[in-house]
Amino acid sequence: MKLSLAAGALCLVGALYSLFGQLDQLGAQYDNLQSNLFQVQQSVDRQIGSVSSRVEEILKAQNSLTADYGVEIVSADLAKNQVTFSARAVPKTYTQGMTVAFTADSGTGDLVSAPGQSAPDGGYTARLTCTLSDAITISAVFVQTDGTRSTQLLEQFTGLYSASMPAVQVLEGGHLWGVEAEPGGRITLPEIILSAVPSSTVMAVEETVGQAEAAQIQMGLFLNHSLLTYLEPWEDPDVSQGDGDALFFRLAPGRVVTLAEKEDQVCFAAVVTDVYGRQAVYGDVPYILSEDGDLTYPSAADLSHHDPFYWGLS
């Protein structure tokens, strides 16, 4: 009898040792993935800066309508979510009676136009105020006396909206790794407690535009970038880990999600509302179903989408 108990105890110890080993391995994998993502985001930021410089060079090289031009950010009003640009263009060939108009397209459907004012250097200037977004295009439209219009792209601005928003990083900790699905992809989620902490992974802030402070941070559970539910705030001091600025959230056990297709993804994302009522979304690494029918990470994850529209929130 004692030998049987001893053998059973040894088996239990062995099983627990194996389990703790697997948990340590999972934690290391998650930390490594988070580190890799942070490095990728830094690399992307550097590449965006390089690409922006290259785009400017190409624009100037291919610019067939202007002898010189320039676009600068003058100011921003985050309360109105607007940005003001100063644009200048000197036509390469001037004809009597020619007029110039400048346009700003923020991709939101509100194309802004302003007439060019004559400048001493033979060029035209204007100020344009448009919606602050992550993709703004400034152009000059040359209008001849016979009505012929020629448009010249002057400058493109990317990431201004995201850079003006307070950023956070979601720390979920890999709690869903290995959770098994029932036939048909139905998954019952366990209780999960996760956190959101201030993040420096947002693109470099444009000094003239600035960056707003957060008024509210919510944590949502999303399926294919559609909100399923918000998590409840959690203030259990026993859960607190490290960063004193971290906010904690709890998903109650028993929530059911269904991943019916190979492309289906489930993830947690922080919904940040700034002091002006604007929103941005910061997602964590998503989960997909593995070949074995349990939750795992995809081979690659794009965490660059912060637009609430992309997440079905506007």
Contacts of 44 (CB under 8 A, 6+ apart): 304
Helices (H), the chain: 2-62, 160-163
Write the DSSP string, 199-226. Answer: -S-SPPPPTTT--PPEEEEEEEEEETTE
pLDDT tens figures, 122-152: 899 999 999 999 999 999 999 998 888 999 9
> Could you give all domains of the chain from N- to C-terminal order, each with its CATH number?
60-158 (2.60.40.10), 161-314 (2.60.40)
Q: Measuring CA to CA, which residue among 38, 51, 36, 49 is closest to residue 204? A: 49
- Summarised one tens digit per residue, pLDDT across range 166-203 is 999 999 889 999 999 999 999 999 999 999 998 765 55
E strands present in the chain: 66-77, 82-91, 99-105, 112-115, 117-118, 124-131, 135-143, 149-158, 168-171, 186-188, 192-198, 214-223, 226-230, 232-234, 247-251, 256-258, 266-274, 279-283, 288-289, 295-296
Model confidence at 40, in pLDDT bands (50, 70, 90)? very low
Average model confidence (pLDDT) across the chain? 82
Query: What does the pLDDT read at residue 186?
Result: 96
The confidence band for 65, taking pLDDT boundaries of 50, 70 and 90, is: confident
The phi, psi pair for 99, rounded to 5°, reads: -125, 160
What was the pLDDT predicted at 236?
Answer: 66
Residue 111 has pLDDT above 50, yes or no: yes
Which of 77-91, 224-238, 266-280 has the lowest average pLDDT?
224-238
The Cα 69–Cα 154 span in angstroms is: 7
The pTM of the full predicted model, rounded to 2 decimals, is 0.74
Tell me the sheet residues that pair with 288: 296
Which range of 76-80, 117-121, 141-145, 149-153 scores highest in mean pLDDT? It is 76-80
Question: Which tokens is 248 given?
Answer: 């904690």
The winner for highest mean pLDDT among 38-42, 74-78, 206-210 is 74-78
pLDDT band for position 244 (cuts 50, 70, 90): low
* Dihedral pair phi/psi, residue 22, rounded to 5°: -65, -40
Q: What is the mean pLDDT of residues 247-262?
A: 94
Confirm if 116 and 103 have CB atoms less than 8 A apart.
no
33: closest CA among 289, 296, 302, 285? 285
Q: What is the rounded CA–CA span in Å between residue 312 and residue 24?
A: 36
